[in-house]
Structure 1
Amino acid sequence: MDFIVQNWVLVLIAVTALALLLWPMVSGGGGAGSLTPTEAVQLINREKAAVIDICSAEEYAAGHIGQAKHVPIDELEKRLAQVVKNKATPLLMVCASGVRSKRAVGVAKKLGYEKVHSLAGGLGAWRAAAMPVQKGPPGKN
């Protein structure tokens, strides 16, 4: 007890550091449900995950993951059930940076989808990992 009293500043720093390390896990952010590009490829190949690109039409046309279905984030709640009917199908949400896709994960879970993931770092991380990107306007998705 004397150590804690005499070194209260060190104890405070240690407790603060621990809290900062644990906060992402407790809050559900910071990687919870986020996959690296390599993990995303494994999910797509092994579990036949549906890739949902939630970017704007312009962003989608500039580049997207092959076989990605384009559902802009503002239409996600209305259209996701039409695009992916089976709620047990794993979903990979993708946007340009990974920020909007984290929000999309919450929307999909609220709609009852069981296995929903976000691509950490978004399409930027996908490109940085030298993964293939297709260009072109949204199709009939």
Structure 2
Amino acid sequence: MRVLFLCLLSLLILACSTSSETHIKQSELLTLLQSEQVPIIIDVRSNREFNAGHIPHAQHVPFWQSFTSDALDNKEKQEQVILYCEHGPRAGIAKLAYTLAGFKKIRYVQGHMTSWRKAGLPMETQ
């Protein structure tokens, strides 16, 4: 139990820290959204949060479903996966799930949805 707690704590710390290896800048993601090479973008927030507004092209897989979802079964494990939640902790849990599923290039949106919204960047609603 203690090992599991330490693993989860480590992932949460990684989700909140920022570096180009772990996070993608909003401007970089916006450029990718406007290109032909849109990465896999996963919004791990609740249904209500996702429906209220999400990053364009994002798939909705709530963090608690990340370990059991088949949403990425047809994707190559080398594809870039971009995760975000509102602030970071839920994305950290989802990253563990996708890492265990074999994905190698997983990054978080810098500042997550809170910063994306504050910057006035494009959003889609359901």
Instruction: Please classify the TM superposition score into its range, dividing by the shorter chain length.
Output: 0.7 to 0.9
Deviation of the 1:81 alpha carbon: 5.0
Deviation of the 1:80 alpha carbon: 4.6
User: Could you say which residue in structure 2 is the equivalent of 1:54?
Assistant: 44
User: Could you say which residue in structure 2 is the equivalent of 1:125?
Assistant: 115
CA shift in 2, pair 1:42/1:106, >3 Å? farther
Structure-2-length-normalised TM-score: 0.74
Counterpart-to-counterpart distance in 1, 2:115 and 2:24: 10
**Aligned residue type for 2:25:** T
**Aligned residue type for 2:65:** E
**Number of corresponding residues:** 109
User: Could you say which residue in structure 2 is the equivalent of 1:31?
Assistant: 18
1:77-131 CA distance string (max 9 Å, x none) = 1115546522111111011112221332222112100111111221111112221
Please tell me whether the aligned partners of residues 61 and 71 of structure 2 are also in contact (alpha carbons under 8 angstroms): no
1:64-83 CA distance string (max 9 Å, x none) = 11111000111111115546
Structure-1-length-normalised TM-score: 0.67
CA shift in 2, pair 1:84/1:71, >3 Å? farther
RMSD of equivalent CA atoms: 2.1
User: Could you say which residue in structure 2 is the equivalent of 1:40?
Assistant: 29
Identity of matched residues, %: 26
Please tell me whether the aligned partners of residues 48 and 90 of structure 1 are also in contact (alpha carbons under 8 angstroms): no
- Which ranges in structure 2 are unaligned for 5 or more consecutive residues? 1-12
Please tell me whether the aligned partners of residues 47 and 90 of structure 1 are also in contact (alpha carbons under 8 angstroms): no
Greater radius of gyration (CA): 1
Bigger helix fraction: 1
Please tell me whether the aligned partners of residues 87 and 111 of structure 2 are also in contact (alpha carbons under 8 angstroms): yes
